[in-house]
Structure formats: C-alpha cells, structure tokens
Amino acid sequence: QVQLVESGGGLVQAGDSLRLSCAASGRTFSTYAMAWFRQAPGKEREFVAAIRWSTGNTYSASSVKGRFTISRDNAKNTVYLQMNSLKPEDTAVYYCAATLRAIGLTSTVLGSYDYWGQGTQVTVSS
C-alpha cells in the first residue's frame, strides 16, 4: 500500500506560479511511477504529468508542456509539480497518483495508477 498526501494548492492570479507537493508513505520502495492528474468542474479527470521514480524520466501532457515541470526527491519520497504561467483554464483539483506496476510512462489512463491522494484545489483567477 502507498499513501499519498498532496499540498500546495491555492488561489493565484493568471501568470503566477505555484508548486504542488505529494508526499508518499508506505511501500514507497516499490513505486514505479508517480503522476499528477487534474479534474476541473464538470469535466473528466485528465493526465498532467508523470515521472518514473528510479530514473527521473518524465512525460507531460501537451497542454502543460513548457509551463509545468514534474520532479521528485527520492530522499523525501516526494513528487512535485512546478506550475508556471498559470492560466484560468488550469483551475482544477489536482491529484497525485502512484503505481507499483511497470507501466509505460506515456500512459495517460487513470487505470494505470493504483493509489491516489485526496486532491488539492488550484484556482487561477483572470
């Protein structure tokens, strides 16, 4: 089992930056990949970015590429999402996810991930 706790959400203005954190606990030594997803009101949850725990290789959705960066701190068992140049359309609940399975890093399907955090709200005002 892996437990995930997100933090760092908040209310910001368009163009601002924000960094989300996701602290993992439990069976973290077996973590293969972690990812960020987001869900805007009335929309389906969508993939944002993923990182392979052992290598640090990353993959991001085209909608955030160049603005968002996913990274991890192995010693702290924490994954981050640095969000720059935020737009009102980035407003959503952001969820951290983890998998112990050897999935493809480009897999954007929710079912690829087995463990989820409770989510943190990000609101970007125009």
Sign (positive/negative) of CA torsion 106, 112, 116, 121? positive
C-alpha to C-alpha distance for 110 and 72, rounded to whole angstroms: 20
pLDDT of residue 97: 97
pLDDT by residue (tens digit) across 92-110?
A: 999 999 999 998 888 899 9
Amino acid at 27: R
Residues linked to residue 23 through DSSP beta bridges, in sequence order: 5, 78
Q: Which residues contact 33 (CB under 8 A, 6 or more apart)?
A: 50, 51, 52, 53, 98, 99, 103, 105, 113
pLDDT at 28: 78
Tokens of 65: 């590429």
CB-CB neighbours of 4 under 10 Å: 23
